[in-house]
């Protein structure tokens, strides 16, 4: 540890509030515990959860820094804790954490990281895990099979675009919804078959019937929640599966049980952040096995809308809240 600094720069939430409550401050470099590694962060990205955490609406889970946001990272192994012998110093690794990635160093369990393929830059490797793991995991939970029709709400978000690309890699036909035609254009350029802009009551079922010759969609990955769930239920095919990943549009919905029973639908909720270590290890291993090779080969791409240095973290938050971006907002270090 001799060559490591004792302090690091970190994006710190000084109080709940607007983007300007974020300050880049000096913090002690964390110490890796048993089984843990210290990672020198080279790339990261923003997620909606960072904004909610900054507002005081999404506290960090136990065991992670309470005031440093950041859920994904790419970086080099800088040191290892007791018994953590898996990786040599300098190994390029990427993964998810419950928080703390918007800092120059973080600690994580040695089994909760994946080795970064050579072809991937720090910027890409740091901006893809959260979106791609969420997308792949949600599609797996939905049992999305080749030839099936997948609909994703908020297709212009990082996770939305990842569903389009990962869904296509799994052999699915993908459709999406967004608040603006420009976001649909980006998704189309990434392989989305068709999309529709948010509309009047019945807009989802109308689009789904048009796209599927009235059969309905097999899988919906819903990043929006609220009334979108109720709009989506009649748009599903027999045996359809809805996986709700986000609730930006609200936490209450109505549910018409006639469709649920008659079409034998499944609705499931999921979150990544609060999962225990064993599950975080499992989704990271799946990411290393499937999506990382696709990213390295260019089969899966995830657009980066803008990249900010850590010092401009408040601007990055403000941009995310504008809802004007399509794809990821990345963070760079140094």
List residues binding a second copy (CB under 8 A): 225-226, 229, 244-245, 247, 250-271, 274
Q: The tokens of 89 are what?
A: 């110093």
Which residues face 113 on adjacent strands?
A: 95
- State which residue, 188 or 263, has the beta carbon closest to a second copy: 263
Nearer to a second copy (CB atom), residue 6 or residue 251:
251
CB of 233 to a second copy, least distance (A): 10
Could you tell me the smallest distance in angstroms from the CB atom of residue 229 to a second copy? Answer: 7
Residue with tokens 């890409």: 124
Per DSSP bridges, beta strands 105-109 and 36-45 are antiparallel
CB of 245 to a second copy, least distance (A): 8
Residue 216 CB, nearest approach to a second copy (Å): 14
Choice between 23 and 258, CB closer to a second copy:
258
Shortest approach of a second copy to residue 266 CB, angstroms?
4
Residue 263 or 312: the one with the smaller Cβ distance to a second copy is 263
Measured from the CB of residue 246, what is the shortest distance to a second copy in angstroms?
A: 8
C-alpha pair distances (Å), 119 with each of 122, 298, 333: 10, 9, 19
Residue 296 tokens, joined: 């390295």
Q: What are 251's two structure tokens?
A: 């936490």
Q: How far is the CB of 275 from a second copy (least distance, A)?
A: 9
Q: Any alpha helices (H) in 74-157, and if so which ranges?
A: 122-127, 129-141
Closest CA to 274 of 129, 74, 114, 62: 62
Looking at beta carbons only, is 266 or 290 nearer to a second copy? 266
Look-up: residue for tokens 């919804």?
A: 177
Residue 269 near residue 246, CB atoms below 8 Å? no
Angle between helices 129-141 and 158-169 (to 10 degrees): 60
CA distances from 268 to 72, 73, 93, 196 (A): 24, 28, 31, 24
**Beta carbon nearer to a second copy, 84 or 138:** 138
Choice between 102 and 273, CB closer to a second copy: 273
């Amino acid at each position: 540890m001799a060559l490591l600094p004792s302090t690091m720069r970190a994006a710190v939430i000084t109080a709940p509030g607007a983007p300007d409550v974020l300050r880049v401050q000096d913090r002690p470099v964390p110490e890796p515990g048993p089984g843990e590694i210290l990672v020198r962060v080279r790339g990261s990205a923003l997620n909606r959860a960072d904004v909610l955490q900054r507002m005081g609406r999404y506290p960090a889970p136990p065991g992670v820094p309470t005031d440093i946001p950041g859920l994904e990272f790419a970086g080099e192994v800088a040191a290892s804790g007791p018994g953590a012998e898996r990786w040599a110093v300098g190994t390029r690794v990427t993964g998810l954490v419950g928080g703390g990635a918007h800092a120059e160093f973080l600690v994580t369990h040695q089994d909760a990281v994946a080795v970064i393929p050579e072809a991937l830059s720090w910027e890409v490797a740091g901006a893809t895990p959260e979106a791609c793991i969420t997308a792949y995991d949600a599609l797996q939970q939905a049992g999305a099979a080749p030839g099936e029709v997948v609909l994703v709400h908020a297709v212009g978000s990082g996770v939305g675009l990842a569903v389009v690309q990962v869904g296509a890699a799994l052999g699915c036909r993908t459709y999406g919804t967004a608040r603006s035609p420009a976001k649909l254009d980006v998704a189309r350029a990434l392989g989305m078959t068709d999309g529709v802009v948010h509309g009047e009551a019945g807009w989802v079922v109308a689009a789904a019937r048009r796209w599927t010759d009235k059969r309905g969609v097999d899988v919906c990955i819903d990043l929006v929640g609220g009334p979108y769930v109720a709009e989506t239920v009649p748009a599903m095919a027999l045996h359809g599966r809805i996986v709700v990943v986000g609730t930006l549009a609200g936490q209450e919905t109505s549910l018409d049980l006639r469709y649920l029973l008659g079409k034998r639908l499944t609705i499931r909720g999921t979150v990544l952040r609060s999962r225990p270590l064993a599950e975080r290890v499992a989704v990271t291993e799946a990411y290393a096995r499937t999506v990382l090779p696709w990213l390295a080969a260019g089969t899966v791409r995830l657009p980066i809308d803008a990249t900010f240095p850590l010092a401009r973290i408040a601007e990055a938050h403000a941009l995310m809240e504008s809802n004007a971006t399509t794809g990821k907002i990345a963070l760079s270090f140094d």
